[in-house]
Structure 1
Amino acid sequence: MRWTLKLLPEKEKITSLANELSISPILAQLLIQRGIESYDEAKKFFRPTLKDIHDPFLMKDMDVAVQRIEKAIAQEENILIYGDYDVDGTTAVSLVSSYLKSYYPQIATYIPDRYQEGYGISYQGIDFAEDNNFSLIIALDCGIKAIDKVAYASKKGIDFIICDHHKPGPEIPKAVAVLNPKREDCTYPFDELCGCGVGFKLVQALGARRQQSIEELIPYLDLVAIAIAADIVPMNGENRVLASLGLKVLNEQPRTGVKALIQNFKKKTLSITDVVFVIAPRINAAGRIKHGNYAVELLTEMDLETAEVLAAAIEKNNTERKELDQKITQEALAQLVENKEEDNYTSVVYQEDWHKGVIGIVASRLIEKYYRPTLVFTKSGDYLAASARSVSGFDVYEALDKCSQWIEQFGGHKYAAGLTLLPENYQAFKKAFETVVKETITEKSRSPEIRIDAALDLCDISPKLYRIIDQMAPFGPMNHKPVFCTTSVRDNGYGKQVGADKSHLKLNLIDGSDPKTYNAIGFGLGSKVSLIENSFDIAYTLEPNEWNGVTSIQLVLKDLKKEEI
């Protein structure tokens, strides 16, 4: 791992902010690194409020979208809420449909089948709308590239409102309204909303027209917080406000479906990390193993007993997903070894019977082993379908674009994408992708990096320091949990490998002449036990650790290495 120390802000800036906020220079440094340089900016950062949520009508086409929905309601049209099968899509559909149903009954939802229809708007979904007399489709978390599909619907007399956050292509679909802050002609102040976030802006606009206050819409923010966490969008600007307020709803008054999903979770307070690792995988599991409709049913269910039955079924889906994930990962790793591709610039693997619902997770697992752009393919009808995942600093979407002659369809983000191609083009694509990555990836992007916010002496760790760092949450891209490094530490002699397979490392650290010991845990670092015989350097985050009713601060090691002299 490469350890990269972030640029140290100017000393004068650190001193000035530390004095203004009455905090330590280390904390002032952390805030400046996050673009916070004044009291007012710090207040907005630490105390997000509803006042920091932007006017939804600043988004292009929002007024047109609201007018079309109001017209549909006035004329008693049937409205279909359509969304993708992942967490962002299913939460967005649940949010918009439950809001509209609160005052208009002619609302239905549609989640495409991952295996029969694939990602995004499908012809099958439009045919369903026609067969069931829907004249308006509100598409969430998809649709920005559905030019042909929207035209197909238009010929059938079906209007589209698209609410998306993915990068638009050179042409925008001819829908009634296209809500997407990433549109070049959209001047909305924040362009990193998730799909559910764009859905919330639509609800906010509809509410404003109905003379509803923003306070009345707070109960819907639990879904927005889940989507923000799961979709790994930047945790700054409006996303930070929506996530903070949504987390509060999740912890204080979660909707019935979420309550059923987390009732066996032992932690008293959910963090964004808990949402990412506890709630999101379970919601995702429905679409991966069975159908995304189950997630929408759960998230919109009002009766607790019914919700508990749905949650139990989704829990089974999640268990099955884990088993498939482990099995396919082992098969994919074996394939790379068998093909002598361990030293490639990419990992591209294919097996026709791999479960399409978990290939994205498997791609991420392969990156943990071989740190490089990765694609995992499986058979999907007459095509091969893949999930792509990338590494820090490398744009896999652009790389796929350079291989587009071999691809039937692709879409996604810088770090995650999906594609389909014809089986006969697989080998040519694989060769082209390897060539493109080899020619464009930087040496930095070929090894995992730990970005360190600040160097710290262990004696500087205090309850006050941790308390303020904890208030910097929710963490995520653009506001990662602070990572510190301390050099020349020693173990007090009681450090050891722990865990059933001895894969973790538990240490008691001493820094310099300070007699105090500091508890540290290094998950997955058990193989580095030999390094603790002498002085060594550590990179870590700070976490609370409760034992026998006593809470202390624990160092969670991200890496350790031989002391640099």
Structure 2
Amino acid sequence: MRWTLKPKPEQQQIDQLAQALQVDGLVAHLLLQRGISTYEEAKAFFRPQLADLYDPFLMKDMDVAVNRIERAIENGENILVYGDYDVDGTTSVALVSSYLLEEYPNVATYIPDRYDEGYGISFKGIDFAEDNVFSLIIALDCGVKAIEKVAYASEKGIDFIICDHHRPGNQLPNAVAVLDPKRDDCSYPYDELCGCGVGFKLVQALAAKKGQTIDDLIPYLDLVATAIAADIVPMTGENRVLAYYGLKVINSNPRIGIQAIINQIKKRELTITDVVFIIAPRINAAGRIEHGQHAVNLLTETDFDQAEIFAKQIEEFNTDRRGLDKEITQEAFAQILENDEEIGFTTVVYKESWHKGVIGIVASRLTETYYRPTLVFTKSGEKLAASARSVKGFDVYNALEGCAEYIEQFGGHKYAAGLTLLEEQYSGFKKQFEKVVSETIDTSLLTPEIKIDAQLELNQITPKLMRILNQFAPFGPGNMAPVFMTDNLQDTGYAKCVGEDDKHLKCKVRPSNDVTSRGVNRSIDAIGFNLGNKINLVVNKKPFSAAYVLDENEWNGKISLQLRIKDIK
């Protein structure tokens, strides 16, 4: 791993901010690195306010979308709320449908089948709408590239409102309204919303027209926070405000469906990280293993007993997902080793029997191991489908654009995308993808980087510092948990490997000079997940450097500080 120490802000700036906020210089240093240089900016950072959310009508087409929905309600039209099968899509559908159903009964939901219909708006979904006399479809977390599908619906007299956050193509669908802050002609001040975030802005606009305030919408923020966490969008601006309040809802008064999931896992206070690794995979498992509608049913259920049944079912889907994930990951690793190919600039694997629902997870695992832009393919009907994942700093979506001649359809983000192609195009695509990446990637990006915020001595680590760092949360891209490094550490003599296959490293560290500046022995527990193979750097009291985040460990009701080590040198 490359360790990169972020530039230290000017000492004069540190001193000024520390004085204005009455905080330690280290805290001022960390804030300045996040672009926070005044008392007002710090106040907005530490105390996010719902009042800071932007007016939803600043989004292009919002007024048109609201007027069309109001007209549908006045005329008694049937409205179909349509969304993708992942967490962002299913939470979006649960959010918009449950809000509309508060006062209007003619609303139904539709999630496409991952295997039968594939990603996004489908012809089958539009046929369903026609057969069941829906004249308005609100598409969430998909649709911004569905030009043919929207035209097909239009021929059948069905209008579309699209709420998406993916990058549009050169042409927009001919929908009644296209809400997407990434539109070139949209001047909305924040363009990093997830799909559920765009859906929330639509609900916020509808609410404003009815005289409701943002406080009336707080119960919906558990869904928005879950989607923000799961979709790994930047934890900045509006996303940070929505996630901050959504997490409060999750921990105090979540909807029955989310409470039922929490009851399954028996965990009390949840962080955004818990939402990413505990709540989101369970919601996702429905669409991966069975059908995304199961997730919508859970998230909109109002009867607790029924929600418990749904949550138990989803827990089973998640167990199945984990088994498939492990099995296919092992097969993918074996395929790479069998082919005995020198790892180039990319990792591309294919097996027609791999489960389409978990290839995205497998792509992430391969990326973590080989640290290359990665594609995992499987057979899907007559075509091949793939999930793409990238390394930090490299835009895999742009790379796929450079392979467009081999691709039937693709969409996504900078770091994650999906595509389909014909089987006979696979070989040509694989060569072209390697060529495009090799010609465009900065080779330093092929070595994982740890960006370090500041160097610390162990005696600077105090409960007070931890309390302040906890207020930097929620963490995510653009506001990651601060990473520190300390040199000249040594283990106190009890370092050991723990966990399945001895994967993790557990030790207790102290300065190798053995005493702090105050002449008191100082040691602190440390855990290094997946660093069991580095135990030789630690044993026999050898001096070493560690890059880590500060963490709180709860054991037998006691909370103690620990280092969560990211790397050792």
> With structure 1 as the length reference, what TM-score do the two structures score?
0.98
The reply to whether residue 530 of structure 1 matches residue 516 of structure 2 is no
Aligned residue number for residue 48 of structure 2? 48
* 1:550 CA drift (Å): 2.1
Aligned residue number for residue 29 of structure 1? 29
Aligned residue number for residue 541 of structure 1? 549
Contact preservation (8 Å) 1:545, 1:554: yes
* 1:264 CA drift (Å): 3.2
Cα distance in 2 between the residues matched to 1:266 and 1:520: 25
The reply to whether residue 417 of structure 1 matches residue 423 of structure 2 is no
Cα distance in 1 between the residues matched to 2:341 and 2:210: 60
The reply to whether residue 552 of structure 1 matches residue 567 of structure 2 is no
Aligned residue number for residue 344 of structure 1? 344
Contact preservation (8 Å) 2:95, 2:200: yes
Contact preservation (8 Å) 1:341, 1:347: no
Deviations 1:448-488 (A, max 9, x none): 11111111111100111110000110000000001000011
Deviations 1:499-534 (A, max 9, x none): 242221111111232211111111111111111131
Cα distance in 2 between the residues matched to 1:294 and 1:485: 45
SS at match of 2:502: coil
Aligned residue number for residue 443 of structure 2? 443
Cα distance in 2 between the residues matched to 1:357 and 1:548: 38
For 2:389, the aligned partner's letter is R
SS at match of 2:379: strand
Aligned residue number for residue 92 of structure 2? 92
* 1:548 CA drift (Å): 3.0
Contact preservation (8 Å) 2:458, 2:522: no
For 1:362, the aligned partner's letter is V
Aligned residue number for residue 213 of structure 2? 213
Deviations 1:150-183 (A, max 9, x none): 1111111110000000011111111111111111
For 2:16, the aligned partner's letter is S
* 1:342 CA drift (Å): 4.6
* 1:338 CA drift (Å): 1.1
The reply to whether residue 466 of structure 1 matches residue 472 of structure 2 is no
Number of equivalences: 561
Cα distance in 2 between the residues matched to 1:168 and 1:524: 39
Cα distance in 2 between the residues matched to 1:324 and 1:342: 27
Contact preservation (8 Å) 1:496, 1:506: yes
SS at match of 1:247: helix
Aligned residue number for residue 399 of structure 1? 399
Aligned residue number for residue 130 of structure 2? 130
Deviations 1:166-219 (A, max 9, x none): 011111111111111111111111110000000000001101111111101100
* 1:4 CA drift (Å): 0.8
Q: Are the structure 2 counterparts of residues 50 and 457 from structure 1 closer, same or farther at C-alpha, using a change threshold of 3 Å?
A: same
Cα distance in 1 between the residues matched to 2:336 and 2:212: 57
Aligned residue number for residue 65 of structure 2? 65
Contact preservation (8 Å) 2:264, 2:311: no
Gaps of 5+ in 1: none
SS at match of 1:204: helix
Cα distance in 1 between the residues matched to 2:265 and 2:329: 27
For 1:396, the aligned partner's letter is V
Contact preservation (8 Å) 1:342, 1:370: no
Cα distance in 1 between the residues matched to 2:164 and 2:343: 38
SS at match of 1:345: coil
Aligned residue number for residue 526 of structure 2? 520
For 1:89, the aligned partner's letter is G
Contact preservation (8 Å) 2:503, 2:533: yes
SS at match of 1:501: helix
* 1:122 CA drift (Å): 0.6
Aligned residue number for residue 8 of structure 1? 8
User: What is the percent sequence identity of the aligned residues?
Assistant: 66
Aligned residue number for residue 277 of structure 1? 277
Comparing 62-71 with 541-550, greater Cα deviation is found at: 541-550
Deviations 1:342-375 (A, max 9, x none): 5221111111110000000000111122110100
Contact preservation (8 Å) 1:487, 1:537: yes
SS at match of 2:450: strand
